[in-house]
Amino acid sequence: MTSALAKDIKELVRSCSAKEAALLPALYLAQGKTGCLDDKALELVSDTLLIPRARVRGVASFYDMFRSGPMGRHIIRLCTNVVCMIMGAEKLADMLDRKYGVKPFETSPDSRFSLVIMECIGACGTAPAMLVNDDLHENLSEDRIVEILDNYK
Amino acid sequence: MEGYKKSGGYAALQKALGLKPAEVLDEVRKSGLRGRGGAGFPTGMKWTFASMDPRRPKYLLCNADEGEPGTFKDKPILEKDPHLLIEGMIISAYALQSEYGYIYLRGEYPSARTILEKAVLEAYASGYIGDNIMGKGFRFHLYIFFGAGAYICGEETALIESLEGKRPQPRIKPPFPVNEGFLSRPTVINNVETFANVPFILKEGAAAYLKIGSPDCPGPKLFSVSGHVKKPGVYELPMGITLREIIYDHCGGISGNGKLKAVIPGGLSTPVLPADKIDCPMDFVSMPRHGSMLGSGGVIVFDDSVDLVKVCLRAMAFFEHESCGKCTPCREGVGWLRSILKRLSEGGGNKGDIELLSEICNNILGKCFCALGDGAAMVTQGFIRHFRDEFEARVR
């Protein structure tokens, strides 16, 4: 698995116009394959791209969409920035805890969901909103969330 | 692609390639187009600086890191009209003689990524991007770069750092990206909406563009309106339209039973305006005279149910989280703004807290490498200026 990933990363560098621009896509590739950017994943990226460990870790730890620990099967990214907040996002976060056992930046005990609190996902006109994996869900209410999450087993 | 071409798409590119690059640049300069990311810098001037630098290759970057809270106006372009952006970029690249372009797309727009990737492939297949565009010997390659969740990457130099595989911390300016940008080469970076204005300018001409909007600030503007309005959404309206007209004539007025209390006019980094100050023309030149800024045109409408101290707190929590940490006044100062606002918000404010907030703001303003700290400070000052009594009510 690791050699397949290393191969994919090398292929990525070839298709990039500038090798410097390969680090972020390589991190995404590694996260996609291994589930999270733990030490082993970071080391593999570092060794394949010949970038120092510290620099890879420094870059990976900066971004909100890279995760360093294991996540649930589905990642809920709920926005609680100002517009979503005034449209009721905080109550939705409470409901996610009550009904699914998932607290902000934690994973539910059954490993079904992880909850990441987001800072504006650009859906303010249809707030409150969340991403579940790559799917955007808008105009949320407690009932809508139950309907939506039913599709994510 | 088919749909885009049916409504006249890529005709502007055809026209542009029949002109000299300098002529295309001149048309954009004459149009008076200003950057639509938030700073409103004259696009033609930026391009002129880049074209004066003889070094190659020149890079063209599209800032699609739309992260300013309250702003969602680039998203419809990216998802519903990607070829408008692509055509705009190719014309710009021709004017600048740039060979390589990147669209830096925020990680929070995964559906836009799929759509853009497909559109770029379509453009390659149609000969609009590649080594010999439309047989005119012009070479331009376009790549999509996916961000990973960091508001600061909307700042142009941080975006470049991110693209270079580093921790995205802003660089000091000068030097500006037009001289020292991506990999130290001349780089022009513009917002999605800015590029989207370019095909019209080439097809219909600068004179036609100048007929729209205000004299100092021509053209159409995309306003993203959210909050307590009946019809939130993205509206294309002429520059210079007033906030009152946007809210009442276009968005149906205040939703529910509330009354208008306050409006944030241009995204979360712009100072709040109270309900009696919404007769301001929304353009880059007029708004500073009315006590705020056009910014990204992200209009957030608050009715009288909203606790503005809590909003100010949430805004500072956002800026604190997104601060890259490089500059001490921002890294520490914004954090202090947040923690003081937290105790105020909970009704536990100390005597002198409001004065302390102002003092901290003064120690952030103008003292950092980028505008994040400035935005946070001006926003807090704006809330205190217009709604001081709400803060004073929270002091024990």
CATH number at residue B46: 3.40.50.11540
**Tens-binned pLDDT, residue by residue, of chain A (153 aa):** 678 899 999 888 888 778 889 999 999 999 998 889 999 999 999 999 999 999 999 999 999 999 998 899 999 999 999 999 999 999 999 999 999 999 999 999 999 999 999 999 999 999 999 999 999 999 999 999 999 999 999
What burial letters (b/e) apply to B258-279, b meaning 16+ CB within 10 Å?
eebbbbbbbbbbbbbbbbebbe
Domain end: B255, B280, B303, which one? B303
- pLDDT per position as a tens digit, B210-241: 999 999 999 999 999 999 999 999 999 999 99
Interchain CB distance below 8 Å, A63 and B318: no
Least Cα distance to A65 among A122, A27, A38 occurs for A27
The two structure tokens encoding residue A94: 């409470």
CA pair distance A123, B223, nearest whole angstrom:
14
As for how many domains chain B has, the answer is: 3
Residue of B nearest to A58 (CA): B167
Residue A122 in contact with partner chain B when CB distance is under 8 A:
yes
Interchain CB distance below 8 Å, A120 and B145: no
> Does B274 share its domain with B193?
no
> Does B30 share its domain with B90?
yes
Domain end: B249, B272, B303, which one? B303
Query: B127 in a domain, yes or no?
Result: yes
> Does B192 share its domain with B325?
no
Interchain CB distance below 8 Å, A28 and B110: no
Domain end: B257, B276, B303, which one? B303
Q: Strands (DSSP E) along chain B, which ranges?
A: 59-64, 100-105, 130-133, 138-146, 187-191, 220-227, 233-238, 260-264, 273-274, 298-303
Minimum mean pLDDT range among A14-23, B132-141, B289-298: A14-23
A chain contacts of residue B318, beta-carbon cutoff 8 Å: 81-82, 119-120
> Does B230 share its domain with B114?
no
Residue B386 in contact with partner chain A when CB distance is under 8 A:
no
Query: B343 in a domain, yes or no?
Result: yes
Interchain CB distance below 8 Å, B67 and A119: yes
> Does B181 share its domain with B256?
no
Interchain CB distance below 8 Å, B167 and A126: no
Q: Give pLDDT, residue B269.
A: 97
B chain contacts of residue A86, beta-carbon cutoff 8 Å: 227-228, 302, 306, 311
> Does B21 share its domain with B151?
yes
ipTM, 2 decimals? 0.96
Q: Report helix angle A39-49 to A23-34, nearest 10.
A: 140
> Does B92 share its domain with B119?
yes
Query: B215 in a domain, yes or no?
Result: no
> Does B314 share its domain with B282?
no
Amino acid (1-letter code) at residue B121: L
Query: B350 in a domain, yes or no?
Result: yes
> Does B190 share its domain with B85?
yes
Query: B18 in a domain, yes or no?
Result: yes
B chain contacts of residue A75, beta-carbon cutoff 8 Å: none
> Does B323 share its domain with B281?
no
B359: Cα separation from own chain's centroid: 29
Residue of B nearest to A64 (CA): B149
> Does B195 share its domain with B240?
no
Domain of residue B389 covers 308-395
Interchain CB distance below 8 Å, A21 and B146: no
CA pair distance B12, B78, nearest whole angstrom:
19
Residue of B nearest to A86 (CA): B306
Residue B289 maps to which CATH number? 3.10.20.600
Residue B304 in contact with partner chain A when CB distance is under 8 A:
no
What is the average pLDDT value for chain B, to the nearest integer? 97
Interchain CB distance below 8 Å, B70 and A28: no
> Does B361 share its domain with B263?
no
A chain contacts of residue B298, beta-carbon cutoff 8 Å: 124
Residue of A nearest to B112 (CA): A134
Interchain CB distance below 8 Å, A17 and B141: yes
- pLDDT per position as a tens digit, B248-287: 999 999 999 999 999 999 999 999 999 999 999 999 999 9
The shortest CB-CB distance from A82 to any of B75, B102, B314 is to B314
Residue B317 maps to which CATH number? 1.20.1440.230
- pLDDT per position as a tens digit, B70-121: 999 999 999 999 999 999 999 999 999 999 999 999 999 999 999 999 999 9
CB count in 10 Å sphere of residue B230: 12
Interchain CB distance below 8 Å, B165 and A81: no
Query: B19 in a domain, yes or no?
Result: yes
Q: Is the CB of residue A95 less than 8 Å from the CB of residue A133? A: no
Least Cα distance to A74 among A148, A19, A4 occurs for A148
Q: What percent of chain B has pLDDT over 70?
A: 100
Query: B314 in a domain, yes or no?
Result: yes
